[in-house]
Structure formats: structure tokens, C-alpha cells
Amino acid sequence: MALYEASATQLLSQLESGEVTSVEVTKACLEQIRKHDGEVGAFLKVMDDKALAKAEEVDKKRKAGESVGMLAGVPVAVKDLLCTEREVTTCASKMLENFVPPYSSTVVKKLEQADAVIIGKTNMDEFAMGGSTENSALGKTRNPWNTSLVPGGSSGGAAACLAARMVPLSIGTDTGGSIRQPASFCGVVGLKPTYGRVSRFGLIAFASSLDQIGPMARTAEDTALFLEAMSGYDPNDSTSANVPCPLFTQTVDKPLEGLRIGLVKEHFGEGLNGEVEKAVREAVAVYESMGAKVVDISLPHNKYGIATYYIIAPSEASSNLARFDSAHYGHRCDEATMLEELKAEEDALRAAGKEAELKKLDTPLIRMYRKSRAEGFGPEVKRRIMLGTYTLSAGYYEAYYLKALKVRRLIREDYDKAFKSVDIIMGPTAPNPAFAAGSKTNDPLAMYLEDLYTVTANLAGIPAISVPCGMTSDGLPVGVHMQAPALEEDRLLRAAYMFQKATDWHSKSPSM
């Protein structure tokens, strides 16, 4: 097996035994990126020199018999909305094209402490808004299984680089399904942890109450390893859960006895692609063959998930993105041109004697905000800022935002109830396999529906995972979605491992 094809767990054992060096592994990954990323476009930035320097450092430490971190020498890709000290962090937006944070996110720091080799920053939908990575202002990412298709989003780059065997581990973020849906489209594993399990400090926020950072990998074991490395309480994030972090690596290979799987009948209804359904049902059958029991359950408020999500997420986004006002952060319009335009408008209004309109004309400051933000943000980000501004504004707050909070609570209660009778809720991750680039860009609602099965885990704050479970007749990967109660990530990882022991969908790779 080529080094770039090996899992992180395999690499670690080879690195430990001295069979390979981190420099060799890193070079293999860099070479793979060099060869294929022109076509895939997973990376916005590859940090060759830094990565090799780190790899060398880790090799030296190992050689000297010094203790090393749990990811020592393993290449990792980081989604480009996680701040990396003194490295441009763009959120795939023109707004932040030149933003160099003076600090690293807690997660990146943890990876550094674990001696991981950070190899580059991956592409994404601008500010993590979107389901296809087509909203990136800085480049296109293609699905390695078929480059005319999207990789999913918003962690499209994170998923694509794994599928293309450019890196064994990749960090994604998930606000409504942004780890799991691209994992499903690209045939890799993606886990959204319990809200609070992983510190959000240094994650450029989209919707703070929903955002969660999570591991993406090709195997359950790697996912467990990676999650263990990034989890833990962080005093810099007051929403981070102050609970001990379990050692997922030590439990991942323990099968779940008497597993009760809940199937939500609404998940297998209208809108679900037949081939996806078939693959998911077969996955469920695999579990049954291992002794799992299937229980039909109902999550009655799940159907309001998308509507609720598209009120709460844009509301928070409209506020979170206010800081990109170009006074402190973000792209600034050309001021001289802006002032000239303003002057011309003023003169025209004055000449026309339109006193009332003259009074309503922007001040230079307001015009600077308007113009800079108009230039800096892409259409999807603008759409959501508008939506959020509307739903939070006086007179609509109660009808939309407050109501959405109430529904969110009901959704959570549905889960609490369901988890009294089942251990895991299983279903499709996305209603369809990867779709053609450009096919949904003019239909935002169709795009939003891709999150149908995933958003409710974010609304409820519970962990969820997508695991490759089959292929369509066109040879596209399909993912099975599993959800568990809060803080029960180990249950998801063990279930994923059981499945991967019995099947080989996770080891399928695209021909590149």
C-alpha cells in the first residue's frame, strides 16, 4: 500500500516501529496533492515548508526517544475557517482574503500539541454557508469520484482531500450537516461531535449555537483517534462542555451488544433517492445480521428541522458577520471612488431638487459599510444575512426567531424520548448522492433540502456520524447517518467500527 493510502492508525504504527519517517509520509501526501489538487481543488493553501519542518522535528524527537504526541508525524488538513497563527485564514471569502490571525484556534493548538503535521488549509463554502462548496469565493472543489460533481459542503475541501488520498485526517466543521453530507458525497467518515465537546475558540463563527468542529477520516479508528486529539474542555469557550474526554481509541473496537437501532419512518419517505435508500437499508441489515434490533420510531418535529435551522442559523450569522464591516476586519472598498460616487449622487439629487431623498442619502461611513460588504460577501452569505436581519428585526422576532427556539426545544425533546427506546438512530445522511456542479446553484431551497436529515442533530446538540455504506450504480458513494444521545460519541464510533469490520465500503477509493 502506498503511504498516502494508509490510514492514520496504520501510519502511526509504521512511524513508531521506524519503518517510515514522517518526512516520507508528508512528502507522499504533498506529492499526491501536487499531482491531483489541480483537478480536485481541495486546498486553498498548502504549507509545504512548515509541514516538512514539523515532520522533521517529529522524526528527530522520535529518534531521540523523546515522548511524542498522539498524532506525531501524521499529516492533517485544516478547514480554512479555523484560525492558524500567522497563516492566512480566509473562510473562502473575499472579505478575509488577507486575514492573518495572530492566534491559533484551540483545535489547531491541540493538533500541534499532538505533534500532527498541518499540511494545508482546505476549501469550503464561504463562511461555511452552503452544501456544495460552490459558494467559495476562492476556488472550485470537485468530487474526486467524478470531477463534474460537487464534493458536498461546506467542508467540501476537507472531504475531497481525504477521498483523493491526499491526507489521512482532515478537520471539518458542521453547522447543519457540513461534515456529514460531504463525507457521504465523498465516501469518507465524518463525525459531528456533541455541541461543546470540541472548543469553538478560533473557529470563525457562522452560527455559534450550531457550529461544531469535528473529525473527518477514512476509518472509524482514525476518527476515534482524531476526535480524542481535538476534544476537551476549554476555559476560553464558555459553551465548551466541562466534562472529562473519554479515550475513544480504547473503546472503538468493542462491539455494541444488543444494539437497538431506531429507524425514523419519515426518513424513508418522499425525496429520498432510491439507490441511497437501498444502500442504507442494506447497512441496517448488516447490523441486524450482527444481532442488532431494529425499532421503528418517530421524531414528529423533525419535519420542521430545515425551517427552524434556516431561521436560527441566519439570525446568528447576521450578527456574527457584522464584525466584517471593513472598519476593523474585511475587505474595504476603494474609498476615493466611493466618495466620488456619493458626491455625484448628491449633486444629481440636489440638481433635481429632491430634498427628501437628499436627506436619506448615505453618510460616507454608511456608504463605506454598504459598499465594502456588497463587494466582500458572496450571494449566499448576503442571502443569509438578509434573512437573519429580517427574522431578528422588531416585529418579526417573536414570529420567527422565538418560535424557532421553541421548535428547537421540541426537536430536542423528540430525541430525548426516542433515545429511551433506542441506542442509535440510523438513516440516510443525505437524500441524494453527489450532484452535478451548477445544478442547484440557482435553487437555494433545493440545496437547503440536502441538509434534511442532518440539521436536527445540530439543533439538538447531539453527536452524529456519516459512514460510507454503499455505492450507486454510477459508482458514487452513499453514507449512512447515525445519531446518538449527547456525549455518546463512543457509541457512534463503535457502531461505525463494527460496520467497517463487516464491510469494505470505506476502503473503496476513486480512480484518479
Partner 1 sequence: MSDQYDIIIGLEVHVQLQTKTKLFCRCSTTFGASPNTQTCPVCLGMPGSLPVMNREAFQLALKTACALNLNVPRFTKWDRKNYYYPDLPKGYQISQFDLPMSEDGFLLIRDPKGQFEPKKVGIIRAHLEEDAGKSMHDEVAGKADTRIDLNRTGTPLLEIVSQPDMRSPLEAKAYLNELKLILTYLGVSDCNMQEGSLRVDANVNLHIKSEEPKKVATPIVEIKNMNSFRAVERAIAYEATRQYDEWQETGKTIKDAPKTTRGWDDAAQITRPQREKEESSDYRYFPDPDLAPVTTTAEEVEAIQNALCELPMAIRDRLHDGYGIPEYDADVIVNQGQIAVDYYEALALKTGDAKMSSNWVQQDVLRVLKERDLEFDQFPITAERLATLLKAIMNKEIDTTRAKDVFTQMLESDKDAPTIMAEMGIEKVDDSAIDDLAREVLEANPKAVEDLKNGIQKAVGALIGQAKKKNPNIDPGTFRAKCIELVKDM
Give the CA radius of gyration of the chain. Answer: 23
* Shortest Å, Cβ 176 to partner 1: 15
* Residue 183 burial (10 A CB sphere; 0-12, 13-18, 19+): buried
Least CB distance from residue 404 to partner 1, whole Å? 11
Choosing from 7, 93, 105, 154, the catalytic residue is 154
Q: Out of 79, 110, 121, 440, which one is annotated catalytic?
A: 79
Q: What are residue 149's phi and psi, to 5 degrees?
A: -105, 160
Three cell numbers written together for 445: 431551497
- Angle 65-70-73 from CA coordinates, rounded to 5°: 70
Q: Pick the closer one to partner 1 by CB: 164 or 205.
A: 205
121 is a catalytic site residue: no
CA distances from 130 to 30, 177, 236, 319, 441 (A): 28, 10, 28, 18, 10
Q: Which residue in 22, 93, 170, 178 is the catalytic one?
A: 178
The continuous run of DSSP H or E covering 27 comes out as helix 22-40
Instruction: By CB under 8 A, name the binding residues for partner 1.
Output: 81-83, 89, 91, 96, 99, 101-103, 105, 200-205, 207-209, 235-239, 315-316, 318-319, 321-325, 327-329, 364-366, 369, 389, 392-394, 397, 401
- Evaluate the omega torsion of the peptide bond into residue 318 and state whether it is cis, within 30 degrees of 0: no
The grid cell for 256 is 455494541
- Nearer to partner 1 by C-beta: 43 or 369? 369
Task: Output the smallest distance, CB 112 to partner 1, in A.
Answer: 16
331 versus 481: smaller Cβ distance to partner 1: 331
Beta-sheet strand order (sheet of 212-217) = 43-46, 117-122, 75-79, 169-174, 212-217, 189-192, 464-471, 477-483, 424-428, 260-264, 293-297
In 334-396, which ranges are continuous DSSP H helix? 335-351, 355-360, 364-376, 379-392
Q: How far apart are CA 500 and CA 168, in angstroms?
A: 17
Would residue 94 show up in a list of annotated catalytic residues for this protein? no
Measured from the CB atom, is 22 or 89 closer to partner 1?
A: 89
Pick 15 or 207: Cβ nearer partner 1: 207
Min dist. Cβ of residue 371 to partner 1 (A)? 13
Nearer to partner 1, 317 or 498 (CB): 317
Q: How far is the CB of 333 from partner 1 (least distance, A)?
A: 15
Known catalytic membership, residue 508: no
Q: Cα–Cα distance between 97 and 95 in angstroms, integer?
A: 6
Contact 456, 298 (CB under 8 A): no
Name the minimum Å distance from CB 370 to partner 1. 10
Active site members: 79, 154, 178
